[in-house]
Structure 1
């Protein structure tokens, strides 16, 4: 460790934090899922504070449309893998911190490998499928999870799992309308506010601050300039819920239904048929699927979730979901 004596003096001077807090951060190991807008303040503050090890997972490359909110990157970075550029920039901020870039999409098949040696998981992904996969793993592993999301001018940040309920306990169902940065847009300052909250919650968890942010949700409305918060410590875990799997988890005996349109970008899969959520809602699963696990695949996981809801009304409960992504190296 090559810290200058005065590097962490200002944070160590906070009475409730002290040198013990700085030492706790130095010994901490963190997984950050996503290297986009939320990760920009998260990484800068955690790296600046001296968190000892950060594993950063993201499959994408930097695009011009990212730069208004993904403030780690510069125009010269366009086309580079996000994890590589982020690690390089953060390496110039604090050489005390080890950053491990992993250019991959986070899914259940990767969860054990990515989470097995960390103390905390931060969900900064613009993907509800990755968020639920992270929460499912953290709940089972007893790992704390700080998960956040921003769309348009609104967002939230919350502490889940470990000694608190999971993301599913608070959000067991897919909303009727589910936005994304791509479809509904997002403003950079709103992302910065939520990402900063995420970093603060992470520091609180890693230093065992009281009260714990686990079991607490903070919402932010940038248009009204208003925060609201509540605790959900007693929220019950749902007994049922649609589960995501990775491509590697598809069994030869699974009945795979591709919900993507013809020509829609994404990786190829060995599907038994192509369908839509509406068709499955009206007709249920085909007879050929009887006795098999049904695997529903689409790009983001949203159509797969809605199709699983539809099949459940027809009595089909042995269902798994896959979010295939775009398949583009972008």
Structure 2
């Protein structure tokens, strides 16, 4: 036990909390910048089993913040390199690597049998997919996001409010690392917060971080945050659907421009978000509306406009970048 003596000495964890860590199974979605501190700290702490999910390969443009990887790893699957790193760090931790994109078709199965889910994907659709699954299953979810030098980490579900309860509405534009840039240390700060929340949840530390968001602003080096235990779940919330679950009878809309990608299906309607609303197109009797775009943002915006004039079932599909799978 020499390896873990100093963490066992912390009163909020102790021997009982450490025993819970050793028995715990966690799911980590995303093997990039946020996952780097998460995997190092949870692996080092002796978490019993980690399932790591990510479809991507190591890229040179990410090395400034994805600190598990080296130049020699470029082109290799991220999950395989990350799993080898954690195993070398601590053989007590068993890591299962899954080279796949998270989507509504596999999210439920991936979450089965785990005690905690960590959303390190920093992708809008993945966060809401995981929140829906975890809220239904009563699983705690630690989700985070970083753009530029600002970010947050929060603990949702697990008997508390979901991500939808805290963020029921979306901005007109979502920031992204590719478009707005990101600094590695800011990602490290937020990933470390995720790891700390995970340790508290799995180890049984008090007070629980559930129902709390912690923010960090690297411009002026300030932490903030708020609690949201009383946040109400939204009544109407279109859910994400796997593209493989699209039916021939659906009112299928592809919101991407013609120069972005081919139609998701030959029978799909290619329409902009602005087409929906009063006097706009709507599904026929008995049809389900399925709205597709790259990230899910335009699908969400079109769903809000359609939902204001039509009360049928609406589903969202995040198709991701062409050839790379769901976002």
Q: Could you tell me the TM-score, scaled by structure 1's length?
A: 0.94
**What count of residue pairs does the alignment treat as equivalent?**
325
Query: In the alignment, what sits opposite 1:224?
Result: 220
| Contact 1:135–1:160 (CA under 8 A) maintained in structure 2 | yes
SS in 2 for 1:86: helix
Change (3 A) 1:317 1:93: same
Deviations 1:48-87 (A, max 9, x none): 0000000011111111111111111111111111111111
Correspondence 1:9-20 to 2 at 5 A: 9-20=5-16
| Aligned counterpart for 1:292 among listed residues 274, 281, 287 | 287
| Aligned counterpart for 1:189 among listed residues 185, 199, 215 | 185
SS in 2 for 1:150: strand
Query: In the alignment, what sits opposite 1:318?
Result: 313
| Aligned counterpart for 2:131 among listed residues 135, 139, 154 | 135
Instruction: Name structure 1 gaps, 5 residues minimum.
Output: none
**Please, what is the CA RMSD of the aligned residues?**
1.7
Compute the displacement of 1:272 (Å).
2.2
Change (3 A) 1:240 1:282: closer
* 2:303 equivalent to 1:308: yes
Change (3 A) 1:161 1:298: same
| Contact 1:256–1:295 (CA under 8 A) maintained in structure 2 | yes
Correspondence 1:148-297 to 2 at 5 A: 148-265=144-261, 268-281=264-277, 283-286=279-282, 289-297=284-292
Distance 2:27 2:35 in 1: 11
Distance 1:268 1:230 in 2: 40
* 2:35 equivalent to 1:39: yes
Q: Could you tell me the TM-score, scaled by structure 2's length?
A: 0.95
SS in 2 for 1:325: coil
Change (3 A) 1:238 1:276: same
Change (3 A) 1:311 1:325: same
Query: In the alignment, what sits opposite 1:75?
Result: 71
| Contact 2:13–2:204 (CA under 8 A) maintained in structure 1 | no
* 2:22 equivalent to 1:22: no
